[in-house]
Amino acid sequence: MTSPAPKPVLIAGAGPTGLMAAIWLSRLKTPFRIVDKHQFAADTSRATILHARTVEFYRMLGLSDTAISEGRVIQYLSVYSDLKELVRREFGEIGAGKSKFPFVLMYPQDLNEQLMIKELEKEGVNIEREVEVTGLVQDDDGATVSLKHKDGTEEKFEASYVLGCDGGHSTVRQHTNIKNDPGTYTQRFFVADVEGEVAVGLENVNVCFTANNFCLLFSMPNGRIRLAGWAPDEIVDTKFTYADVEENVKVTTGANITKVHWFSTYQVHHGAAQTFRDNKVFICGDAAHVHSPVGGQGMNTGLGDAINITWKLAAVLSGRATPEVLETYHSERKPFADRLVNTTDKVFTIATDKGLLGKAWRTVFMGNIVPLLFHFGFMDSFLFETASQVRIEYRSSALSGNNRISNLYAGDRLPWVQFEDGSDNFEPLNSLDWQIHVYGEKNDKVSEWAQERKLGVHYFASTQDVQAKGIPKDAVLLVRPDGYIGHVVEGSKVNNLSQLQEFMDKWGIKSFSS
């Protein structure tokens, strides 16, 4: 007797996080609905950057080439003080050897959304707009979600699980026991898309400051100029327009703006929810954590949340993993979110302080120390690895189980390696499935074991670069659907393969193709 089909997953929110969740569930053939209370997708955006780890995820979905062609690789980072250039650092290959995408990609949120919406349309997915979550009741079998449609009709929808991807003021979260009380910086900020003439290079991301002011300036893929900075002290508590910041922008960046296409003001919130799960509900993106714009981490982190939870939901609902796998979403994503909030909070607080500490940071640290660090190359690796999210790891996750060989840990992102023929070890990850990697000699025992479990098995040469990145010769790696190491054993002896089997049995893991 066949078991009944699982109830669909409900995704609340069709921003980048919700759209990414929808694509993964669609690719893994998991039933779902995606709803959004807004009539249209965003046509403006504060988030502008895709980092290397996110572009790697896009590659797994076949979307990276489009994103790169539509976006713009940042070529230089420049720091200006009183219109004098202190630093000009090449940025186009800052992470060379660490990723196929060793750069920072300017690809705003609205373009990200358009890309993913088109992909979902190809797959026949309907995004239900002007449909609002108004209530949610959970039980052991799932969640009953109250939905209000644009014509006023109300619906009770039975979902297996609910993904709250509906932003910092998440309605889904409000109907759970998840506690969330983010702080708010008193300083108000502005963001604007403009046209005009500038005194700094538009091929750069320009960090411009004086002792009393600060502004970012860079060119967007659509040819417009993006400005971001803070409001003058005297209008912090009032509504303001570009005219109120125009003089500060001119003094700080040397820009003469001729046309303002879009102007928005906001206050920055910071903090993470105490838990990312309440029974059948998971929260992702801004619903789970909000933080300052330092490093352009927000959108990228939300996309990572969506990927982490959706492959696990797909596995559990299809009987290819035990429900305990879902517990690892919180334990894997929450620690990173906390570190991110704390780190960006400290940097943001100092950088935007208008007292003596902030002035010292802008004049002494940015004006003297940062140029030296860049000059001697000390910042390149640190900046890339910190901002790109390639260093995110899940070693403490129960799913990783303290498993390791030497310095290669379960829970690490699979180290990226490119070979002499131009191929790399990330190519097979587009299967979005569990797979075996062996770096060394081909082994029939491994191939037979993997074939019996319908796991793809991929052999790679144990090159100097492979070993330099911590992958022991002939080690057998079981790689997760999201490109992180699930389990690793030495060689291919029978007892080592049995360790892999014990791991899979413990978590009920089966290939999505089984």
Does the pLDDT value for residue 364 go beyond 80? no
pLDDT at position 7 over 70: yes
Return the SS3 of 473.
coil
State residue 334's pLDDT score: 96
pLDDT tens, residue by residue, 121-167: 999 999 999 999 999 999 999 999 999 999 999 999 999 999 999 99
Higher pLDDT, 99 or 78: 99
Query: 299-313, 325-339, 418-432, 485-499: which range is least confident on average?
Result: 485-499
Mean pLDDT across the stretch 238-256?
A: 89
Which residues, including other chains, have CB under 8 Å from residue 313's CB and lie 6 or more apart?
Answer: 9, 25, 30, 161, 326
Q: What is the mean pLDDT of residues 106-125?
A: 97
Whether the per-residue pLDDT at 372 is higher than 70: the answer is no
Q: Which of 411, 403, 394 is nearest to 331 (CA)?
A: 394
239 pLDDT exceeds 80? Answer: no
Please name every residue paired with 408 in a beta bridge, in sequence order, or none if there are none.
405
| pLDDT over 70 at 310, yes or no | yes
Cα separation, 456 vs 472, in Å, equals 20
For helices 298-317 and 16-27, the axis angle rounded to 10 degrees is: 30
Whether the per-residue pLDDT at 339 is higher than 60: the answer is yes
- For residue 229, pLDDT over 90 is answered with no
Task: Quick: pLDDT tens for 8-44.
Answer: 999 999 999 999 999 999 999 999 999 999 999 988 7
Comparing 239-243, 252-256, 417-421, 432-436, which segment has the lowest mean pLDDT? 239-243
pLDDT given for residue 368 in this prediction: 59
Sheet architecture: strand order including 281-283: 127-129, 32-36, 9-12, 162-164, 281-283, 277-278
Give the confidence band of 377 by pLDDT, cuts at 50, 70, 90: low
At 1 the pLDDT is 42
Average pLDDT, rounded, for the chain: 90
- For 426-471, the DSSP string reads TGGGGG-S-EEEEESS--HHHHHHHHHTT-EEEEE---HHHHHTT-
Does pLDDT of 294 surpass 90? Answer: no
Looking at residue 234, its pLDDT comes to: 58
The predicted structure's pLDDT at residue 150 = 95
Q: Residue 278 in 3-state DSSP?
A: strand
Q: What's the pLDDT at 469?
A: 96
> What does pTM read for this prediction?
0.94
Across the range 431-435, mean pLDDT stands at 98
Amino acid, res. 118: K
pLDDT tens-place string over residues 161-213:
999 999 999 999 999 999 987 777 777 889 999 999 988 888 788 988 887 78
Q: Give the chain's domains with CATH numbers.
A: 9-71+107-180+273-350 (3.50.50.60), 72-103+182-269+353-377 (3.30.9.10), 404-507 (3.40.30.120)
Please report which helix (H) or strand (E) contains residue 9, including its range.
strand 9-12
User: In the prediction, which pLDDT does 305 show?
Assistant: 98
> 62-66, 102-106, 359-363: which has the minimum mean pLDDT?
359-363
Q: Measuring CA to CA, how many Å separate 9 from each of 116, 138, 283, 326? A: 18, 13, 13, 14
Give buried/exposed letters for 469-479 (b at 16+ CB in 10 A, else e): bebbeebbbbb
* Per-residue confidence (pLDDT) for residue 341, from 0 to 100: 82
Q: What is the pLDDT of residues 392-416, one digit of tens each?
A: 999 999 999 999 999 999 999 999 9
Provide the pLDDT for residue 492. 67
Share of the chain above pLDDT 70, in %: 90
Residue 211 has what pLDDT? Answer: 77
| CA separation, residue 279 to residues 140, 283, 349, 438 (Å) | 8, 11, 35, 38
3-state secondary structure of 341: helix
pLDDT at 498 over 80: yes
Task: Give the count of beta carbons closer than 10 Å to the beta carbon of residue 151.
Answer: 6
Give the burial class of 235: count Cβ atoms within 10 A of its Cβ; 0-12 exposed, 13-18 middle, 19 or more buried.
Answer: middle
